[in-house]
Amino acid sequence: MRDEAIKAIFEPESIAIVGASRDPEKVGYLILKNLVQTGFKGNLYPVNPKVREILGLNSYSSVEEISESVDLAVIVVPAPTVPEVLKQCGRKKVKSAVVISGGFRETGKEGEELEKILIQIIRETGIRLVGPNCIGVDNPHIGMSMWVGVKKKGPIGIVTQSGLVGTALECWAEKEGIGVSKCVSLGNKVDVDEIDLLRYLADDENTRAIAIYVEGIDHGREFIQAASEVSRKKPIIALKGGRSKLGVRAASSHTRSLSGRAEVYEAAFRKSGILTANSLEELYDFAKALSFLPLPKGRGALVVTSSGGAGILASDLADKIRLELPSISERAEKRLRQLLPSHCVFSNPFDVTTTTSEAFQLVMEENVADEEINAFMPIFADPLPRAAEAVKRIVEKTDKPVVVCYVGGAEVEEREKEKMHSMGIPVFPSPERAVTALHALVKRYESLMKLQASNDQSEGRRSLQV
């Protein structure tokens, strides 16, 4: 029953938008318009007693007036009116609600009291509630995107205490043709929280990696428990807001959640197998890498590039974070010297100079079985056509990750990048970001190994006890 309500948040068959508006400057218009434009697959019921129709849809005077059943109510009315609307939803047997409206705990004493009333009502009605003070829930797989109207179906699941982190990741993923699976903005999280969502996303077949932004966690122990279970199944990447004095000060006036000490969170994340991101772009890059790429079984990578400079920048960062660039085998070098022009640099980074994408393919192919090479990093740094095909050939031949960077290739770059993204091959925009993404894969592998070892240990202990 409770699980079904959580499911109704992400996969509703019908949505009532309470506070829908005809005024294009109002949030109640924005959300309805987005749901129409992203092609929501179920029924949409605008609720606004003052008008008869919005965007071609019948407008209802209240949720109770809707004759069909309603799975999800999205509530955008002024804060003082929210309790009454929620009660109506209870009588209508609406399963879940997303309260967009602000004006609760985050605004002070009065709002705090109002929030307590919400909590009371959801206890009585059994409605599961996201928010208040949030920007909604998205699931492009059923054409549902409330705040920014993203359409692309993808593998990244997002749980965030800040609307921005959600919309930033969604917009970047949309622009790159990568897409997200689910996105939920938690707001003041009076009910639905990270723990509910991690458990839901763990079983969501469209989600392959989970990006999470937290300022403060209320139930630390349960969170660690849930995260430890989930991260055995799927990678979780976390960005913590409020890691410094100024950041904590800002966080305390945001959702007023207790934003604990950074080290405590880092330890908790490590313990539960969560990867830490240090910036918004890292959160995106890591989620992108982890939802598309297989894991490398070690720290050795082969960098192949058409630009010496790109190879050097990649090497500098790789060295700093202790990735390894092992030499290619004598056998591979000998073969490649026969196949490629002599002015190539037959080393690691392997510089094919400005030849063709096929040269990249050859170099990777010849080293595909090398046990010291756990990952490939082709850095295309010129207008090189057919890069997508070359990479695809390698991806088909190996379960080692191919972390692609394409930069400085003008229109050819744009075209090839688009092709790769449509094939599910992520492309990173600079050598350093590609190396950092590979590092995330390595850390995920190492953390999984650790989780498994502790599993084996506890199983061992159990069998001893038997």
The only residue of 31, 82, 150, 159 in contact with a copy of itself, by rule CB under 8 A: 150
The one segment of 57-65, 267-275, 303-311, 446-454 that binds a copy of itself by CB under 8 A: 303-311
List the structure tokens of 353. 């100079």
Q: Closer to a copy of itself at the Cβ: 338 or 342? A: 342
The only residue of 71, 138, 174, 366 in contact with a copy of itself, by rule CB under 8 A: 174
Q: Closer to a copy of itself at the Cβ: 185 or 447? A: 185
Residues 99 and 130: beta-carbon distance below 8 Å: yes
Shortest Å, Cβ 374 to a copy of itself: 16
Site for a copy of itself in 314-333 (CB under 8 A): 315-320, 325
> Is residue 431 close enough to count as binding a copy of itself by CB under 8 A?
yes
Q: How many residues bind to a copy of itself according to rule CB under 8 A?
A: 77
Query: Distance (Å, rounded) from C-alpha 79 to C-alpha 101?
Result: 6
Contacts of 316 (CB under 8 A, 6+ apart): none
Residues 69 and 93: beta-carbon distance below 8 Å: yes
Shortest Å, Cβ 213 to a copy of itself: 7
Shortest Å, Cβ 357 to a copy of itself: 12
Query: Distance (Å, rounded) from C-alpha 285 to C-alpha 320?
Result: 19
> Is residue 383 close enough to count as binding a copy of itself by CB under 8 A?
yes
The one segment of 5-13, 202-210, 267-275, 405-413 that binds a copy of itself by CB under 8 A: 405-413
Site for a copy of itself in 241-260 (CB under 8 A): 241-247, 249-251, 253-255
> Is residue 349 close enough to count as binding a copy of itself by CB under 8 A?
yes
> Is residue 407 close enough to count as binding a copy of itself by CB under 8 A?
yes
Site for a copy of itself in 3-62 (CB under 8 A): 27, 30
The only residue of 163, 260, 296, 426 in contact with a copy of itself, by rule CB under 8 A: 163
The only residue of 15, 54, 96, 106 in contact with a copy of itself, by rule CB under 8 A: 106
> Is residue 372 close enough to count as binding a copy of itself by CB under 8 A?
no
> Is residue 177 close enough to count as binding a copy of itself by CB under 8 A?
no
Shortest Å, Cβ 306 to a copy of itself: 8
Q: Closer to a copy of itself at the Cβ: 189 or 234? A: 189
Full 3-state SS string of the chain: CHHHHHHHHHCCCEEEEECCCCCCCCHHHHHHHHHHHCCCCCEEEEECCCCCEECCEECECCHHHCCCCCCEEEECCCHHHHHHHHHHHHHCCCCEEEECCCCCHHHCHHHHHHHHHHHHHHHHHCCEEECCCCCCEEEHHHCECCCCCCCCEEEEEEEECCHHHHHHHHHHHHHCCCCEEEEEECCCCCCCCHHHHHHHHHHCCCCCEEEEEECCCCCHHHHHHHHHHHHHHCCEEEEECCCCHHHHHHHHCCCCCCCCCHHHHHHHHHHCCCEEECCHHHHHHHHHHHHHCCCCCCCEEEEEECCHHHHHHHHHHHHHCCCECCCCCHHHHHHHHHHCCCCCECCCCEECCCCCHHHHHHHHHHCCCCCCCCEEEEEECCCCCCHHHHHHHHHHHCCCCECEEECCCHHHHHHHHHHHHHCCCCEECCHHHHHHHHHHHHHHHHHHHHHHHHHHHHHHHHHHHC
The one segment of 69-77, 102-110, 331-339, 443-451 that binds a copy of itself by CB under 8 A: 102-110
CA dihedral 449, 217, 74, 97 (to 10 degrees): 90
Residues 350 and 361: beta-carbon distance below 8 Å: no
Query: Distance (Å, rounded) from C-alpha 194 to C-alpha 148?
Result: 22
The only residue of 131, 401, 409, 426 in contact with a copy of itself, by rule CB under 8 A: 409
Shortest Å, Cβ 147 to a copy of itself: 8
The one segment of 196-204, 220-228, 277-285, 415-423 that binds a copy of itself by CB under 8 A: 277-285
Shortest Å, Cβ 392 to a copy of itself: 21
The only residue of 264, 339, 345, 453 in contact with a copy of itself, by rule CB under 8 A: 345
Query: Distance (Å, rounded) from C-alpha 16 to C-alpha 166?
Result: 22
Q: Closer to a copy of itself at the Cβ: 154 or 166? A: 166
Shortest Å, Cβ 397 to a copy of itself: 26
Shortest Å, Cβ 159 to a copy of itself: 13
> Is residue 103 close enough to count as binding a copy of itself by CB under 8 A?
yes
> Is residue 170 close enough to count as binding a copy of itself by CB under 8 A?
yes
Shortest Å, Cβ 344 to a copy of itself: 9
> Is residue 266 close enough to count as binding a copy of itself by CB under 8 A?
no
The only residue of 231, 291, 307, 367 in contact with a copy of itself, by rule CB under 8 A: 307
The only residue of 338, 342, 463, 465 in contact with a copy of itself, by rule CB under 8 A: 342
